[in-house]
Structure 1
Amino acid sequence: MSHVDFQDDTVYSVKNGKFPAPNPDSKVAARLAQCKAEGRAALIGYLPVGYPSVDESIAAAIEMGKNGVDIIELGLPYSDPVMDGPVIQRATVEAIAKGFRTDDIFRAVREITAATNAVVVVMTYWNPVLRRGVDRFAQELAAAGGSGIITPDLVPDEAADWLAASEKYGLDRIFLASISSSTERLHIISKASSGFVYAVSVMGVTGARASVSDAAGTLVADLRSAGAPAACVGLGVSKREHVEEIGAYADGVIVGTALVKALTEGGPAAVGVLTRELAGK
């Protein structure tokens, strides 16, 4: 993980309590505020780039953006997706087997931002960013039109390089908080995050579920008390009823597995149909 020199108080770190100032140009924050002004939670959709091909994943994401998704999460396929459930794992493994390269994520961001009004962020495990170089990855993402990174396996304590690079290039830092996070951790995560905090509403890996955890509402309330810029709920959302339920208390509702299933079964067009259903259109 990122090296942090805790003796140098100019370095961003949890130990010395130094974090970047809130991003004044955050496209994520602006979109969340727009949705709030419209009296609704933001709809956030996830798809992995490269599945079932790079072209089809881009086409599917464009369908999301044109049919009601406010913020698009583009997954960067990784060989050890410890947080992902079986549907997303299969998709990312196939993407890698078919030759996915990190360059493809930046191409996808460029094409999707050009074709839709959706705000685009990347969801990635941290090792691919380290291999690319934290500063280089951030620079390329910003140049492509991306707005930030969701980092499921990076904690603020080990994110000094990312905190600095995100501020340098105007990108949002979206850390995860779970129902098992302590009050102290929620404060740290909220302070380090910009755009929103990704609130994990269930214990375990991702996957669509018949019902949404009752603990999600408590987690969102706790994050707000801790000073989070916004709280968006993911893991388990699969139908319009979930969106309405979560949208009553959260700033955004995140859908992943259900959209990947739609892509598998019906291609980009099916993703567009499901997106409209989730958006209530």
Structure 2
Amino acid sequence: MIQKAIEQVLANGDRAFVPYIMAGDGGLETLKATILRLQKIGVTAIEIGIPFTDPVADGPTIELAGQRALKNGTTLKSTLATLASFAEEVTIPLVAMTYLNPILACGAEKFAHDAKQAGIHGVIIPDMPLEERAIIYQALQQEQIALIQLISLTSPAERIKKLAAASEGFIYAVTVNGITGARSDFADELEKHFAKLKAASPIPVLAGFGISTPEHVKKFASFSDGVIVGSKIVDALANDDWETVEALVVASKQ
């Protein structure tokens, strides 16, 4: 469903826009309203972060949001249960971004089953290397949930080939070296890097990490299939600043 949703957007001449939100930041009772409003303003899919005590890929903004969510008692189990309670109202794909430990604590089969009930169509596990994918892959396959791979700027050509072949739904192309967070500038070679990724990939290639302005969205939309915006969205939602959120979404449609 994720790949189809992105391809439909591309067929319309736009680029995919995927906001990242932190489950439980502001309380899980806000999750439904946030997701339905994002759906209404035209996002392609939504990436939902599950708070974790050791979030190795997260920059300061998302790490703080995760800490707030943990203080609210948010867990993988409670997030999936909350999502399941209104899954019938969600018409766009949801992607869960979670670390490996919570999945192992839940059990791969139970996690995949509960994720399916919650309307999850894809999973990103940033601390699970490709070589360990067997831990979860079969369980996700049974529930038709895509296992999305991250590809870094420093990945050599052979590694890119392997990751592109293994990824499902879309490729999450990391645009900076390091953790998430808003950036003011990016490497000069990004366009060439994305050309390599798109040549190697049979599925859409989305850009993520550091994208924080409408100008960034437009820039990356010119050489990728879409963007994932995290820290800026998390910050805007924490301040109930929907104007900023909508401006970012609109930039993907121009």
How high is the TM-score relative to the length of structure 2? 0.93
CA 1:251/1:138 → structure 2, altered by over 3 Å: closer, same or farther?
A: same
Distance 1:44 1:93, change over 3 A: same
Moved more, 114-123 or 171-180: 114-123
**Which of 211-220 and 128-137 deviates more?**
211-220
2:66 maps to a residue whose letter is: T
The percentage of aligned residue pairs carrying the same residue is 33
CA distance in 2, matches of 1:195, 1:66: 22
Q: Report the equivalent of 1:142.
A: 116
Provide the secondary structure at the position in 2 that maps to 1:147.
Answer: strand
**Which residue in the other structure is 2:245 paired with?**
275
Determine helix, strand or coil for the equivalent of 1:121: strand
Which has the larger displacement, 29-38 or 155-164? 155-164
The letter of the residue matching 2:56 is V
SS in 2 for 1:159: helix
1:80-159 alignment runs, 5 A limit: 80-110=54-84, 113-159=87-133
1:208 to 176, 182, 193: 182
Could you tell me whether the CA contact under 8 Å between 2:57 and 2:180 is conserved in 1?
yes
Give the match for residue 255 of structure 1: 229
Moved more, 134-143 or 108-117: 108-117
SS in 1 for 2:19: strand
1:63 aligns with 2:33: no
Q: Which amino acid aligns with 1:46?
A: Y
Asked if residue 196 in structure 1 is aligned to residue 164 in structure 2, the reply is no
**RMSD in angstroms over aligned alpha carbons?**
1.7
Letter in 2 for 1:58: K
Aligned equivalent of 2:6, options 28, 32, 37: 32
Report if aligned partners of 1:68, 1:275 keep a CA contact under 8 Å in 2.
no
For residue 118 of structure 1, give the secondary structure of its aligned residue in structure 2: coil
My pick for the range that moved more, 238-247 or 209-218, is: 209-218
Which residue, 201, 222, 241 being the options, matches 1:227?
201
Is the contact made by 2:7 and 2:204 (CA closer than 8 Å) also made in structure 1?
no
Q: 1:73-122 CA distances to partner (integer Å, 9 max, x unpaired)?
A: 00010000111010110110111122112222213433564334321110
Quote the residue 1:217 is aligned against: 191
| 1:165 shift after superposition | 1.5
For the residue of structure 1 that corresponds to 2:219, the secondary structure is helix
Report whether the alignment pairs 1:162 with 2:132: no
Structure 1 stretch 174-183 or stretch 106-115: which is displaced more? Answer: 106-115
**Secondary structure of 1:46's match?**
strand
Q: Indicate conservation of the 8 Å contact 2:83/2:119, yes or no.
A: yes
Aligned to 1:13: none
d(CA) in 1 for partners of 2:169 and 2:13?
A: 19
* Structure 2: unaligned runs, 5 residues or longer: none
Q: How many Å separate the matches in 2 of 1:87 and 1:215?
A: 26
**TM-score, reference length from structure 1:** 0.84
Which structure 1 residue ranges, 5 or more long, are not aligned? 1-26
Alpha-carbon separation, structure 1, partners of 2:226 and 2:82: 23
> 1:58–1:218: structure 2 CA closer, same or farther, 3 Å change rule?
farther
Deviation (angstroms), 1:61:
2.7
Counterpart residue type for residue 275 of structure 1: V
Secondary structure, counterpart of 1:205 in structure 2: coil
- SS of 1:149's equivalent in the other structure is strand
Which residue identity is paired with 1:174? Answer: I
Name the CA distance, whole Å, in 2 between partners of 1:179 and 1:112.
Answer: 37
Query: How many residues get paired?
Result: 251
- Structure 2 counterpart of 1:187, from 139, 157, 161: 161
The answer for the alignment partner of 1:17 in structure 2 is none
